[in-house]
Amino acid sequence: MSWQVRTLLVVPCLLLLAPGCGRSAPNTERGRGDTLDQLEPFGLAAVLTSAFGASASGSVELAFEACDAAGKGIPFALLELNWEEGGRTAFQTDESGTIRMLFHASALPGDATVWVRILPIGHSFIAVERDDAWRPLTAGRVRISVLPGH
Amino acid sequence: MPGHARDRGAEDEPLDLTDDLYHRIKAGLFQPTREPLVLRLTRAGEDGREVPARGEYAMFSRDEGSFGVRSDDHGAIVVHMDMEAALSHLSVNTPRDRGLVREFHEDPRHPIR
């Protein structure tokens, strides 16, 4: 299934998250303020469609915060994007567990499944390959905040 | 060489990571499945010395489109890739007129953690 088709199927679920719509999709929750909490791996294209739908700007900035079960930010977590066309990239969060990304409506990057991976504190890239050491986030969430674009 | 930084590309010129990394990967000097690529954005400070460019965006472009990633308080963007991504001609650019320099830090011990 192409990402465009999948986006069309997922967007109505995300629109239910708009204020006043009353209920959330089972793997999402409303966070604090204008945030959206993802409890499971999620599609980037659907999040972008929702974010651009609520913005008059041609670009949006998304802050992704990796949180543990208690809602506390996880320092130096890795936000992994598993691209539909192939390949995986992961970007390290800062000390607060947050990484910010910018998207332009005129050049969206295609779809990816997004989730968080964790490397043990003190992991040595010399001693152990990353793929043998990192683990997906469990019992946590990714909190997404939509910020005004540039 | 641990800790050594390589400056790459003119300010407004997209840098193709695959072109830059291919021979280093083939030579075993960079192993995408084992270690991250650490990009640090800097600019000239008042005294002419380079200082970290915090909160600046680097744009990553793929065939399908692009996205930006914001540098942390150390001016760093740490990206992990699998081999497919490392060979996918992902390119990195910085906005014009920001005076940013891209440095790639070669340190398998990872200077962030």
CA-based nearest distance A22→chain B, Å: 32
Q: What are phi and psi of B29, to 5 degrees?
A: -85, -25
Helix (H) or strand (E) holding B29: none
The yes-or-no verdict on residue A9 having pLDDT over 80 is: no
**CB-closest option in A109, A129, A131 to B64:** A109
How high is the pLDDT of residue A150?
61
The yes-or-no verdict on residue A16 having pLDDT over 70 is: no
Q: Taking chain B, what is the end-to-end CA distance rounded to the nearest angstrom?
A: 18
User: A105 by DSSP, 3-state: which?
Assistant: helix
Sign (positive or negative) of CA dihedral A6, A7, A12, A18: positive
- Residue-wise pLDDT tens digits, A64-82: 999 999 999 999 999 999 9
* Residue of chain A minimizing CA distance to B66: A109
Cβ pair B69:A125 closer than 8 A: no
Amino acid at the residue A49:
T
CA-based nearest distance B22→chain A, Å: 16
d(CA A86, CA A84): 5
How high is the pLDDT of residue A21?
32
CA-based nearest distance A19→chain B, Å: 27
State the angle between helix axes of A44-53 and A3-15 in degrees (0 to 180), rounded to the nearest 10: 50
Cα–Cα distance list, B55 to B17, B45, B86, B110 (Å):
22, 16, 25, 20
Alpha carbons within 13 A on the beta-carbon side of A23 = 4
d(CA A80, CA A85): 15
* Residue of chain B minimizing CA distance to A75: B113
From chain B, the residues in CB contact with A127 under 8 A are none
Query: Out of A116-125, B62-71, B100-109, which region has the weakest mean confidence (pLDDT)?
Result: B100-109
The yes-or-no verdict on residue A12 having pLDDT over 70 is: no
- Residue-wise pLDDT tens digits, B3-51: 455 555 556 688 888 888 888 888 888 888 888 998 999 988 888 888 9
Which of B34, B39, B77, B106 best probes binding to A when mutated, by most A CB atoms within 10 angstroms?
B34
How high is the pLDDT of residue A123?
80
* Residue of chain A minimizing CA distance to B55: A100
How high is the pLDDT of residue A44?
97
* Residue of chain B minimizing CA distance to A101: B69
Is any Cβ of chain B less than 8 angstroms from the Cβ of A132?
no
How high is the pLDDT of residue A29?
65
Helix (H) or strand (E) holding A51: helix A44-53
Cβ pair A130:B34 closer than 8 A: yes
Question: What mean pLDDT do residues A131-144 have?
Answer: 92
- Residue-wise pLDDT tens digits, B77-107: 999 999 999 999 999 999 888 888 888 876 6
Cβ pair A83:B85 closer than 8 A: yes
CA-based nearest distance A139→chain B, Å: 23
Which residues fall within 8 angstroms of residue A144, CB to CB, at 6 or more apart?
A31, A35, A36, A37, A38, A47, A62, A63, A64, A65
Which of the residue ranges A17-21, A88-92, A130-134 has the most confident prediction, judged by mean pLDDT? A88-92
Name the more confident of A19 and B13. B13
Q: Six-digit token pair at A140?
A: 């946590």
Task: Please give the ipTM for the structure prediction.
Answer: 0.88
How high is the pLDDT of residue A18?
36
- Residue-wise pLDDT tens digits, A74-122: 999 999 999 999 999 999 999 999 999 999 999 999 999 999 999 888 7
Is any Cβ of chain B less than 8 angstroms from the Cβ of A135?
no
Query: Using CA atoms in the order A81, A83, A87, A93, what is the torsion angle rounded to 10 degrees?
Result: -10
